Chains A and B, each alone.
Chain A
Amino acid sequence: MSKIGVFVCHCGENISATVDCARVAETSGKLDGVAYSVDYKYMCSDPGQSLIKSAIKEKGLTGVVVAACSPRMHEPTFRKACAEAGLNPYMCEMANLREHVSWVHEKGEATTEKAIDLVRILVEKVKYNQSLNAIKVPVTKTALVIGGGIAGIQASLDIANTGHKVILIEKDPSIGGHMSQLSETFPTLDCSQCILTPRMVEVAQHPNITLYSYAELESVEGFIGNFKVKIRRKSKSIDEKLCTGCGLCTTKCPVKKIPSEFNEGLGMRTAIYVPFPQAVPNKPVIDREHCTYYLKGKCRICEKVCPIQAIRFDQEDTIEEVEIGAIVLATGFSVKQPDFFPEYGYGKYPDVITGLQFERLASASGPTLGEIRRPSDGKVPQNIVFVACAGSRDEAKGIPYCSKICCMYIAKHAMLYQHKVHGGKSYVFYMDIRAGGKNYEEFVRRAIEEDGVNYVRGRVSRIYEKNGKLIVKGVDTLLGAMPVDIEADMVVLATAGVANSDAEALAQKLHVSYDAYKFFAEAHPKLKPVETNTAGIFLAGACQSPRDIPESVSMASGAAVKVACLFSQDELTRDPLIAVVNRMAPPVYSSCVGCFLCVSACPYQAIEKEEIKNRAGEVIKTLARVNPGLCQGCGTCVAFCRTKSIDLQGYTHEQMYTEVMALLNEY
């Protein structure tokens, strides 16, 4: 016979203002199997919890129903209290009288009746609850960091410095990401390379970090603490162990006209190449799409000139299998290519460029060695126009969000231009200046007041060429929407920051959710900004939304701490609310008939085939078996099972049918 305790919470006045809590407690007390019922002002408070604990001990309760707020809020609290009093925590259920009753209905009879119904449903359910034990799973204390930009670098270093192993994979031949492409950084104008490259070297040399450049995630299986990851190490066509990075091959390669990705197409590279001089690892790879040998079967000049015979034309991709406890996603963002802006003439006019291209022009290591020269004829532009929000905050272009970094980098670009081209004139077309951040507003003011950048508030409708000049047609809304035409030598578009083209595919591999713009979604916008909805997978940097360097770095450190917290435990405990296949005495063994419809239903590949053998070792029956480590407890298999042989702990057939029947019997 059940002895259930019902504990009705007033939640101050949150519940009691509309629900007659005393009547709920009194009516519930008369239900069959209820041994004790009480109402109290704050059940989650220390005295409230003590009330539950002492009732469990004194009345010998076998089940507890707490009628208070949402179980999503306080179920762990009350289950813990029950466990402390010696009752199995899974014998405790919560009726949601606050979010689902008192806050959404007016005071009255019907509202109290609903509260009583909800309590009764759970009283009946608890009668069928079973004592369950939390599942303990071991933790593999190695982290995988995906993406070697500043966020991935910071996360890797922080995790490695806590003493745990890190595997960092980067799809490009070198780590560094977008930050390595930048010239100077706002708001201090310190050189990006100068602050980044030491970190890159630190990554390469750290004893706890294994760096796989030119590698991508192939597949992920498993769950928090126990991921099994396959990494595709793309063929570099060189023997990395032998190669000294002397660079002779890159100087002798005859294919020299490949637009350099690192220089955003403004410079050229060879087919065997190192993306940039400060690359880590500083060893070349062969780009097979452009290499003459792979295209035509002849050449092999690099092989001939290599002093140590490190070229390997027949090298193949290898798949590395690793066991991982936690994953940090730091895959960054892409810059929207402005071809979707035909009115600005990008692609048509060589002197209309993107912000990232301007970074390369302004960079000392760039194609012009830091001189601002326009791509078409190499002349120094005397008039330059910067267009903010090229795509961002533009519903018509499908990007309603703010890319966040552009206001600041445009101010920086205009400033760098003024510093490098004395007497030049710069204009910025903007919608609003969003300069929130330490010393950011001051930085923009400096561009305007000290460096004389002309800020024009308004948008640009069109850019076209006339007499060798780029005519920028805009409007100044601060002068009553007065049309403004500027004859420019060069135009820089601050194009929107967007998610990588492969972000969706990656999210699906990892079971991580993403937003409408394919940026990865955090578990909670305020309180869980670096977690994802998938336990054990964390976010760092601009893969979650466009963000600047300081934000990416702090987010990466945040993700690293989450990983370190996880790795500080030897075992994880998980709710045992998982599916189980029933087992019976021989010769039946189970009502499962082995149709394995459940296998096709399971999103986690958690259902295995189990063979029952006799003493002679012959298979006499094949059954489904749920791997408790993999099962996440969705219960889809339960609804699929034709023979009702599989059931979900915590949401069993008995419990759910009981709930429905209890609900309607006195409703």
Chain B
Amino acid sequence: MAEFEPKIVAFVCNWCTYAGADLTGTSRIKYASNVRIVRFPCTGRIDYMLLVKAFDEGADGIIVSGCHPNDCHYTSGNFHARRRWIMFRSLCDFIGIDIRRIKFSWVSAAEGAKWADIVNSTVAAIRELGPYEEYQKVAKKPVKEVING
């Protein structure tokens, strides 16, 4: 059997982490190709229901990353994201999401190497945890069964 390749979705802000990931590219730093970036204007825009949706659709791991505190392009969006993340973390237990599968971090536009590190370490960690089948069993299967009658 081929090695398990985790599906990682990254929710990043346009001004810091997206630009940081651009810098990883311009610096030609190699990292695992398992990640797919979804660009938002700001981490403040990230509705955490999108994370639930991503797990629902079969993501094995998620990265959320934006500007460092105090560096938000919009002054305070990342603070709101951080506060909501703290709330969401405690909800994760309740809805059955393993928070080890979510990596929340700050990557600035100057931290190309850090972005590569975060992707690589997240991929390694998720590879260790294996495919996220538990969530699919809990969250998805019953719904499908209901639909199928």
Give chain A's interface residues, CB within 8 Å of chain B.
70-73, 96, 98-101, 103-106, 110-111, 113-114, 117-118, 121, 511, 513, 533, 577, 601, 603-604, 632-636, 638-640, 648, 650-651, 653, 656-657, 659-661, 663-665, 667
Contacts and interface: CB of A to CB of B under 8 A. Distances in A.
20 contacts: A70-B22, A72-B22, A99-B23, A103-B25, A104-B25, A104-B31, A113-B33, A118-B36, A513-B71, A634-B41, A634-B45, A635-B40, A636-B44, A639-B47, A639-B80, A650-B41, A656-B40, A657-B53, A663-B9, A663-B36
B28 interface: yes
B41 A104 contact: no
Contacts of A103: 24-26, 28
Contacts of A71: 39
B129 interface: no
Contact of A660 (B9, B22, B80): B9
A100 B37 contact: yes
Contacts of A660: 9, 38, 50, 53-54, 57
Given A103-B26, A663-B36, 7 more contacts: A99-B26, A105-B33, A639-B80, A656-B50, A660-B38, A660-B54, A663-B57
B107 interface: no
Interface string B113-146: 0001000000000000000000000000000000
Nearest to B54: A660
A396 B38 CA distance: 42
A98 B42 CA distance: 22
Q: Is the interface of A mostly helix, strand, loop or mixed?
A: helix
A635 B41 contact: yes
Given A533-B73, A657-B53, A638 B47 contact: yes
Contacts of B44: 601, 634-636, 639
Given A636-B74, A638-B47, A659-B38, A104 B58 contact: no
A657 B30 contact: no
Nearest to A644: B47
B28 A634 contact: no
Contacts of A650: 41
B46 interface: yes
Given A648-B41, A651-B41, A661-B57, A104 B36 contact: no
B105 interface: no
B18 A72 contact: yes
B89 interface: no
Given A99-B26, A657-B50, A667-B7, A636 B37 contact: no
A511 B116 CA distance: 30
Given A99-B24, A657-B50, A657-B53, A104 B29 contact: yes
B97 interface: no
Contacts of A667: 7, 36, 58
A658 to B, nearest CB: 10
A663 B74 CA distance: 27
Interface string B35-68: 0111111101111101001100111000000000
Contacts of B21: 99-100
A628 to B, nearest CB: 15
Given A105-B33, A636-B45, A98 B25 contact: yes
B19 interface: yes
A357 B138 CA distance: 74
Contact of A105 (B26, B30, B54, B76): B30
A207 to B, nearest CB: 38
Nearest to B40: A651
B82 to A, nearest CB: 12
Contacts of B100: none
Nearest to B53: A660
B148 interface: no
A633 B73 contact: no
A636 B33 contact: no
A639 B41 contact: no
